[in-house]
A and B are shown apart, each in its own frame.
Chain A
Amino acid sequence: MLARFSLAERLARRMRRWAISRHPSGHHIELTQRVIYIFPTRAGFAYLGVNLLILLLAINYQNNLAYAVCFMLGAVFLVSILHTYACLSGVVIETGRCEPVFAGEDIGFTYQLQAADRRVNQITLAIHDADLRSVAIEAGGSARLTLFRPARQRGWDEAGALYVESRYPLGLFRAWSWASLQTRCLVYPKPLQAKLPPPLSPAAAEGGRPVGSRLSGTDAFQGLDDYQPGDSMSRIAWKKLASGQGLKVRSYTAEQGQEFWLDASVWPGSQEIKLSEMTWQALQYHGQDQTYGLRLGGAEIPPDRGRNHLDRVLKQLALSPGAAGGSDTGERL
């Protein structure tokens, strides 16, 4: 594997590791001289090359104005080091909240940037495999940036080191830093529709309905309730909303005492497939506003309904130990 990398790349990786290890990780970092690196860009080197040509021109034609252009551009080169550096210096970066996503979707890692007492004209943020974002910030102001990246697998997904750079004003220099900010995002298993109906939970088999029997169309429409946060989007009465009667949700009667159990011990299939199918099923129940519980490994979440319950269930599914290596510690760097 290592053979694939050139020496320069390996050096660069080592340098990056070293740079990241130089400052403690946390939820915010202030870019100071300790962590800002600066180096000419390729354009900067080309600029120097052209400057050298101009110098040759001046020497050969003994032209003082050509000398002046050469020295002027050279001095601008030197001064722009400071400007580029100043662009990053004093910027404080904090991690923001990250909304959980399903595997395969894009995670948005959010960062809050606080400028120092001078304007940041251009600052670019990037994490591995993510798109990059540039932003300008007023002096003392702040900006929020979200970098999107495909979620790799269920469990905690780390953003990894954050790369920060600026090339303002002339692009001759690149000032950059790596911030090892603690940013992680919960990734739920990828929902997967089961080919078979959900199996019967032995625990629930005695009373009530068979677990997971299809409910399509069997519920009776009862009436409209006021919308509560956490209510399923699928229950919103859009027509009522459009006619100006406010946000209402349709409520259905489910037969009392009917509880559904997502029980891993009876669910067929391999571990990951099972988790994905249970996720899909949990979403189904949530969409139908059913009461459902989860039995997974040793853990049991009693039947309930609503958004928070769904999140708990999905989190449990996401962090379930398995072949995918989704670790529930989430604290690794």
Chain B
Amino acid sequence: MSLFAHQKTVPKEALPALNARRWIFFSTVLCMLPQALHMPVWMSLLAGGLLVYAGLRLNRGIAQPPRLLKVLAVLVVLTVTALSILGKSTLLGLVILLVMANTLKLLELRTRRDVWVVVLVNCFIIAAAYLFSTSMLSGAYGVLSIVVLLASLITLHSEASSLWRVRWQPLKTAGLLLLQALPLALLIFLIFPRIGPLWSLELATPSARTGLSDSLAPGEISNLLRSDEMAFRVSFSGDPVPEQRRYWRAMTFDHFDGQRWRIDAAEPSRQLPDSRYTGDYQVIAEPASSAWLIALTPVNNGTGGLKLFPDGTVRAPEPLQQRFTYSLPLQDGTGETLSTEDLRRYLQVPAGNPRARAQVDQWLAEGLSKQQIVAAILQQYRQHFSYTLSPARLQGHRVDEFFFATREGFCEHFASATGLMLRMAGIPTRLVGGYLGGEWNPYSEYLLIRQRDAHAWVEAWLDGRWQRIDPTASVAPERVMDGIEELLQQSPGYLADQPLSMVRLEQQFALLAELRLRYQSLNYSWHRWVLGYDSRQEDLLKNWLGTLDYLKSVLLVLLPVTLVLVVIGWWLLRARPRYRDQISLDAERLSDRLSRKQPALARAAGETLQQYCRRAAAVLPDQADALMAWAEAAGQAQYDVASGVNMKLYRRRLKQLKQQL
């Protein structure tokens, strides 16, 4: 018998009790279920089939599959898994492997040790699931998984007696345990230092993510317009900017080849030093296909790590694989100047579009100033053009066709035609791709910009500075004022593929719109405080505690942890009155004590306390009074268990007796 020898006391060979097996099975299925979304369908089906078999085995006590079959199953599953992992990211591959291994382990679950292997793999899977989804729902699901997992461990380590007939008892205990652990966990979450990745890992295959692309051709944004996906969220330090000014610049296009606008020269002018910065507005960017970030004004300052470009646009340090938070200032301009090189770039015009050129030449011959030419173009739009999301296809000389023939389209068409014609008139011009507007959430005071808010407009060099010209506003001013949503509702093609869209429902039920805003507000807090806590941690801790030194941070961890543990310990171990038991226990102790002096003085079976004391008093005349007084007090205390009034007297008598003995 040694210290560790008694690890053996719980036999490893024994199959855990039926209820424990059921809980283990249930919790494992629960933990692995979300992974089915990421795994190839046929892998999920295979795992599902094996799980059904495992479930039957654990529930009904069906015998294990024969050894040969098991080996075969392992080989098949491993091969299949290896094949399906190929081409996936490391993490997804790892998760698939874990899920399949866990399924197999469940199939041959035999000992307590096997159960532990399954439980620990489940723990890891719960955490890994968050790399694929971080929504509030996933968060809640994870908590549920942990509770059930703990419940399965509790059933495994409780005596499977009648006490555990109560079906929900393990869940309740697990919930209690988690609740008690919560303050500690929260504390560690708040103060645990967030450090950068230890080694770099690709999260997932670069999937086709929505977002602005690095080139712009008429018709492209219309895909985005159908996307409800969140793109950016912006909160302002001061008042939010008015609706007319919510032009979010992402990138500018300077090269036009007759069909597409491209970014020709995209060399960052500088990279901001790695420092924290609190600007006038903070942006949380969702993962997207490009690294371009939105900004209200041309940027020359902001959160560290951003790459600044000469045209005032910003890029994230790397493609937005994950949510990215940054801050920028509101400013009037960066004092950008035009070099000869820039002039050449911004005046580049491809061959073609003869009618547009003829029109511009005619305006120039009429002696129109630059401002007047801009006005003339916009005038044309106002008079003869209409805004639609399902325009006719353009072929050949696209600008000509749009400007003189079809005369319908949306932002890209208008911006593209305007840009080209201004260049023809000798005005340096660039196209801007970005977003317009956003939905203001009054509960959390932030602006939500979706992919469908994508927009394109023109910046022209007039009077020695870049000026924003939004030709779409001339055609459909409501696009600017009311946002794309209002406008789209009148458009026949809009959301044709989403018949049950929220937008449509909300037109009928105002309450839904209200609920949606509330939900988004909650979601925003979730992103801001839970998912994006890293960026806030330093400020928060500084606000609360001032500057942190080493000693302070150690105390910061130790003190609250100790405090929480002390409180829980007190709660668990606190003494509740148990008078009757206490008295008989005291009597036994007395009997032990006296019988050590005289064996005859042991309390006999069936002897009442009073009888015993009388007998002892006869043998020990010196202590007789104390003995009888104690016996009497005990009798009184026993008749009055509820109020406990006589307990005080009893304790005093007991103390006196102990002193005398």
B6 contacts which chain A residues (CB < 8 A)?
A: 126, 163, 165, 176
Point out the residue from B134, B575, B585, B589 that lies within 8 Å of A65, measured CB to CB.
B134
Q: Is A299 an interface residue (CB 8 A)?
A: no
Which residue among B153, B157, B322, B575 has the maximum number of chain A CB atoms within 10 Å of its CB?
B157
Interface string of A131-167 (1 = CB under 8 A from B): 0101110101000000000000000000001010101
Q: Is the CB of A76 within 8 A of B150?
A: yes
A90 contacts which chain B residues (CB < 8 A)?
A: 573
Dominant secondary structure at the B interface? helix
Which stretch from A116-124, A234-242, A270-278, A280-288 is at the chain B interface? A116-124
**Nearest chain B CB to A115 CB, angstrom units:** 9
Instruction: Decide yes or no: A122 and B158 within 8 Å by CB, A67-B192, A71-B188, A82-B569 being known contacts.
Output: yes
Q: Is the CB of A76 within 8 A of B565?
A: no
Which residues from 223 to 265 on chain A have a C-beta closer than 8 Å to any C-beta of chain B? Answer: none
Q: Is the CB of B188 within 8 A of A13?
A: no
Q: Is A205 an interface residue (CB 8 A)?
A: no
Interface string of B212-252 (1 = CB under 8 A from A): 00000000000000000000000000000000000000000
Q: Is the CB of A134 within 8 A of B159?
A: yes
B531 contacts which chain A residues (CB < 8 A)?
A: 64-65
Q: Is A79 an interface residue (CB 8 A)?
A: yes
A64 contacts which chain B residues (CB < 8 A)?
A: 134, 189, 530-534
Which stretch from A55-63, A188-196, A213-221, A309-317 is at the chain B interface? A55-63
Q: Is the CB of B198 within 8 A of A163?
A: no
Q: Is B519 an interface residue (CB 8 A)?
A: no
A69 contacts which chain B residues (CB < 8 A)?
A: 123, 126-127, 130, 142, 146
Q: Is the CB of A28 within 8 A of B588?
A: yes
Which stretch from B174-182, B390-398, B446-454, B503-511 is at the chain A interface? B174-182
A92 contacts which chain B residues (CB < 8 A)?
A: 585
**Nearest chain A CB to B555 CB, angstrom units:** 18
**Nearest chain A CB to B14 CB, angstrom units:** 11
Interface string of A50-92 (1 = CB under 8 A from B): 1101101111111111111111111110111111011001101
Instruction: Decide yes or no: A117 and B153 within 8 Å by CB, A74-B185, A78-B184, A132-B9 being known contacts.
Output: no
Q: Is the CB of B131 within 8 A of A75?
A: no
Q: Is B120 an interface residue (CB 8 A)?
A: yes
Which residues from 340 to 363 on chain B have a C-beta closer than 8 Å to any C-beta of chain A? Answer: none
Point out the residue from B7, B127, B153, B534 that lies within 8 Å of A57, measured CB to CB.
B127
Q: Is B63 an interface residue (CB 8 A)?
A: no
A182 to B252, CA, bound (A): 90
Instruction: Decide yes or no: A46 and B161 within 8 Å by CB, A41-B7, A54-B124, A71-B189 being known contacts.
Output: no
Q: Is the CB of A76 within 8 A of B178?
A: yes
Which chain A residue has the least Cβ–Cβ distance from B161?
A136
B618 contacts which chain A residues (CB < 8 A)?
A: none
Q: Is the CB of A89 within 8 A of B573?
A: yes
Which residues from 167 to 210 on chain A have a C-beta closer than 8 Å to any C-beta of chain B? Answer: 167-171, 174, 176
Point out the residue from A83, A117, A119 that lies within 8 Å of B163, measured CB to CB.
A119
Q: Is the CB of A140 within 8 A of B581?
A: yes
Q: Is A16 an interface residue (CB 8 A)?
A: yes
**Nearest chain A CB to B588 CB, angstrom units:** 6
Q: Is B4 an interface residue (CB 8 A)?
A: yes
Instruction: Decide yes or no: A66 and B130 within 8 Å by CB, A71-B192, A79-B181, A163-B1 being known contacts.
Output: yes
**Nearest chain B CB to A20 CB, angstrom units:** 11
Which chain B residue has the least Cβ–Cβ distance from A84?
B157
A53 to B150, CA, bound (A): 19
Q: Is B561 an interface residue (CB 8 A)?
A: yes
B153 contacts which chain A residues (CB < 8 A)?
A: 169-171
Q: Is A47 an interface residue (CB 8 A)?
A: yes
Which residues from 1 to 41 on chain B have a C-beta closer than 8 Å to any C-beta of chain A? Answer: 1-7, 9-10
Which residues from 113 to 151 on chain B have a C-beta closer than 8 Å to any C-beta of chain A? Answer: 116, 120, 123-124, 126-128, 130-131, 134, 138-139, 142, 146, 150
Q: Is the CB of B592 within 8 A of A70?
A: no
Which chain B residue has the least Cβ–Cβ distance from A135?
B159
Which chain B residue has the least Cβ–Cβ distance from A140?
B578
Q: Is the CB of B123 within 8 A of A56?
A: no
Which residue among B3, B116, B576 has the maximum number of chain A CB atoms within 10 Å of its CB?
B3
Point out the residue from B138, B146, B572 that lies within 8 Å of A73, measured CB to CB.
B146
B195 contacts which chain A residues (CB < 8 A)?
A: 59
Q: Is the CB of A79 within 8 A of B177?
A: yes
Q: Is B173 an interface residue (CB 8 A)?
A: yes
A171 to B155, CA, bound (A): 10
Q: Is B201 an interface residue (CB 8 A)?
A: yes
Q: Is B156 an interface residue (CB 8 A)?
A: yes
Which chain A residue has the least Cβ–Cβ distance from B6?
A163
Q: Is B197 an interface residue (CB 8 A)?
A: yes
B588 contacts which chain A residues (CB < 8 A)?
A: 28, 94
Point out the residue from A61, A68, A114 that lies within 8 Å of B189, measured CB to CB.
A68
A83 to B120, CA, bound (A): 20
Interface string of A8-51 (1 = CB under 8 A from B): 11011101100000000011100000000000011100110011
Point out the residue from B128, B158, B180, B569 that lies within 8 Å of A168, measured CB to CB.
B158
**Nearest chain A CB to B119 CB, angstrom units:** 8
**Nearest chain B CB to A161 CB, angstrom units:** 8
Q: Is the CB of A78 within 8 A of B181?
A: yes
Q: Is B541 an interface residue (CB 8 A)?
A: no
Q: Is the CB of B161 within 8 A of A118?
A: no
Point out the residue from A9, A66, A83, A161 that lies within 8 Å of B177, measured CB to CB.
A83
Q: Is the CB of A60 within 8 A of B199?
A: yes
Q: Is the CB of B159 within 8 A of A65?
A: no
Q: Is B154 an interface residue (CB 8 A)?
A: yes
Q: Is the CB of A57 within 8 A of B572?
A: no
**Nearest chain A CB to B625 CB, angstrom units:** 27
Q: Is the CB of A60 within 8 A of B201?
A: yes
Which chain A residue has the least Cβ–Cβ distance from B128?
A57
Q: Is B568 an interface residue (CB 8 A)?
A: yes
A92 to B578, CA, bound (A): 14
Q: Is the CB of B9 within 8 A of A59?
A: no
Q: Is the CB of A16 within 8 A of B198?
A: no
A94 to B585, CA, bound (A): 11
A274 to B192, CA, bound (A): 76
B196 contacts which chain A residues (CB < 8 A)?
A: 62
Q: Is the CB of B2 within 8 A of A16?
A: yes
Q: Is B88 an interface residue (CB 8 A)?
A: no
Which chain A residue has the least Cβ–Cβ distance from B190?
A71
Q: Is the CB of A171 within 8 A of B198?
A: no
Q: Is the CB of A71 within 8 A of B185?
A: yes
A296 to B188, CA, bound (A): 75
B126 contacts which chain A residues (CB < 8 A)?
A: 69
Instruction: Decide yes or no: A60 and B198 within 8 Å by CB, A9-B2, A26-B592, A79-B565 being known contacts.
Output: yes
Which residues from 519 to 558 on chain B have a C-beta closer than 8 Å to any C-beta of chain A? Answer: 530-534
Q: Is the CB of A60 within 8 A of B568?
A: no
Q: Is the CB of A121 within 8 A of B163?
A: yes
A11 to B158, CA, bound (A): 30
B159 contacts which chain A residues (CB < 8 A)?
A: 121-123, 134-136
A71 to B146, CA, bound (A): 12
Q: Is the CB of A50 within 8 A of B185?
A: no
Point out the residue from B2, B157, B183, B575 that lies within 8 Å of A169, measured CB to CB.
B157
**Nearest chain B CB to A125 CB, angstrom units:** 9
**Nearest chain B CB to A253 CB, angstrom units:** 38
Q: Is the CB of B116 within 8 A of A46?
A: yes
B585 contacts which chain A residues (CB < 8 A)?
A: 92, 114
CB-defined A-B contacts under 8 Å, sample of 9:
A63-B134, A65-B134, A67-B192, A68-B189, A72-B182, A76-B177, A79-B565, A114-B581, A169-B157
User: A residues near B, CB below 8 A?
Assistant: 8-9, 11-13, 15-16, 26-28, 41-43, 46-47, 50-51, 53-54, 56-76, 78-83, 85-86, 89-90, 92, 94, 114, 116-119, 121-124, 126, 128, 132, 134-136, 138, 140, 161, 163, 165, 167-171, 174, 176
Query: Beyond the given A62-B196, A169-B158, could you list 15 further A-B residue pairs with CB under 8 A, ordered by the A residue number?
Result: A26-B592, A50-B123, A54-B123, A54-B124, A62-B534, A63-B131, A64-B532, A79-B177, A80-B177, A82-B565, A82-B573, A117-B578, A136-B163, A163-B1, A170-B150
CB-CB nearest 7 A-B residue pairs? A12-B3, A75-B181, A75-B184, A65-B130, A12-B2, A136-B159, A75-B185
